[in-house]
Amino acid sequence: MSSSPVKVGLLGLGVVGGGTWKVLARNAQEIARRAGRNIEIVAVAVRDVPKARQMVGEDVLVTRDAFEVVRHPDIDIVVELIGGDTLAHDLVMEAIQQGKHVVTANKALLAKHGNEVFAAAHAKGVMVAFEAAVAGGIPIIKAIREGLSANRIQWLAGIINGTTNYILSEMRMKGLSFAEALADAQRLGYAEADPTFDIEGVDAAHKLTLLASLAFGIPVQFDKAYTEGISNLASEDIDHAERLGYRIKLLGITRRRETGIELRVHPALVPMERLLANVEGAMNAVQVYGDAVGGTLYYGQGAGELPTASAVVADLVDVTRLLAADPEHRVPHLAFQPDAMDDIPILPMSEVLSSYYLRLRVEDRPGVLADLARILADCEISIGSMFQEPHSVNDADIIFLSHQAREGAVDLAMEKIRTLPFVKSEVTRLRVENLL
């Protein structure tokens, strides 16, 4: 084992930064046995210096100037745990220019600027490791990038936002309100600094964008991801789904089709017997289907202090082991060699294939169902099942579950249905994912 420790500069000592400090301290020997050297945090950047001092003591440089850490000549690896895509972007780019390796949990940064960051790192011969950026403590990046490298990956689907999964679980199982469940998720350290990123599906889309690049060898294209969150989800749809044998989950799905790649985040009905339907609380799970291996599933804590720190420290160990390796012999950042990336188009939502749940309120009189069925048939949407529930003396709620259809056809059917005189509500549309 080398006697000289690897020197680390830590940017941020919040939920994940604090966890990283704790895990490195409590498992120092075990980690050194794996890495071949001690890994030592020598500098920390924060806003609140006295608070940080209480955690790290007097022997570590603590500064409000994160660039001081990034430019510190003794530091080999910069760990960026500040978040956001402005200051963090400048810090990571500067670290790379300084020839330092980077570890980050920042999916927002990489989803928006990943192509630039990885190109700069490649040119400089440094590593940018980001296991903690997707699914917290689950080593999903390593699994896709290395473990599944024999496969032509067909699709992956996952619960990749702990906050929204926690909210949906608490609402369904404990009857908490949306606001109560969100406040709990924030208190437990799961939520982003701006929780609308979680609730509106943006955080999941950041992560999905990275997973799609790793799975298919395509550039990072967050701007082309379809993003729909859980803020408009009605509790009656959660109840109806349950009665129909489904659970509603916020899913990130990316799938290879003949004409391109689907890249989408939205709530979806998942059959109750699927493992993904039974992932509760802040747990995450990702199902990956490769042509050789078939289906695989990765499950674990997707957010929070120590689980995320587990991934950060694993990256630190990886980088430490590879410090002396020729850059050409390292695993490529996005799994595929940079000159072998493929610009397969991301499909617009109108081309996506899914099954659908449609709910609407109608006047309860003869001919209504026939007219609705005619519109669906004209749009080439086949009905899988249907049920009707009385709402009042004159009105009923109708729910259709369709077979697989093109989303553009469903848009058209909804447009036509809205104009029918007996329709008394907006048409609620949710996707149904059978995960086969």
Q: Catalog residues that contact ligand HSE under the rule CB under 6 A.
A: 136, 161-163, 190-192, 198, 203, 302-303
Task: State residue 136 phi and psi, 5-degree precision.
Answer: 45, -115
Residues 76-95 that bind ligand NDP (CB under 6 A): 81-83, 87
Contact 313, 6 (CB under 8 A): no
Question: Six-digit token pair at 98?
Answer: 């300084």
- Give the residue ranges of DSSP H helices in 188-276: 196-199, 202-216, 235-243
Nearest to 294 by CA among 152, 432, 145, 404: 152
Contact 308, 15 (CB under 8 A): yes
Question: Six-digit token pair at 340?
Answer: 């072998």
Q: Exactly one of 207, 224, 416, 424 is catalytic; which is it?
A: 207
13 belongs to an annotated ligand binding site: yes
Is 420 exposed, middle or buried (CB count within 10 Å of its CB: 0-12, 13-18, 19+)?
Answer: middle
What gap in Å lies between CA 96 and CA 125, rounded to an integer?
A: 9
> Residue 161 touches which of ligand NDP, ligand HSE, none (CB < 5 to 8 A by kind)?
ligand HSE
Residue among 16, 39, 317, 346 that touches ligand NDP (CB under 6 A): 16
Question: Min. distance of Cβ 286 from ligand NDP in angstroms?
Answer: 14
Is 220 exposed, middle or buried (CB count within 10 Å of its CB: 0-12, 13-18, 19+)?
Answer: buried
> Residue 66 touches which of ligand NDP, ligand HSE, none (CB < 5 to 8 A by kind)?
ligand NDP
CB closer to ligand NDP, 85 vs 116:
85
Question: Six-digit token pair at 10?
Answer: 């830590």
> Residue 12 touches which of ligand HSE, ligand NDP, none (CB < 5 to 8 A by kind)?
ligand NDP
* Catalytic residue check, 207: yes
Residue among 117, 208, 253, 303 that touches ligand NDP (CB under 6 A): 303
12 belongs to an annotated ligand binding site: yes
> Residue 163 touches which of ligand HSE, ligand NDP, none (CB < 5 to 8 A by kind)?
ligand HSE
18 belongs to an annotated ligand binding site: yes
Q: Which residues bind ligand NDP (CB under 6 A)?
A: 12-17, 45-48, 66, 81-83, 87, 105-106, 132, 136, 189-190, 192-193, 303-304, 308
**What residues form the annotated binding site for L-homoserine?**
192
Task: Give catalytic residue positions.
Answer: 207
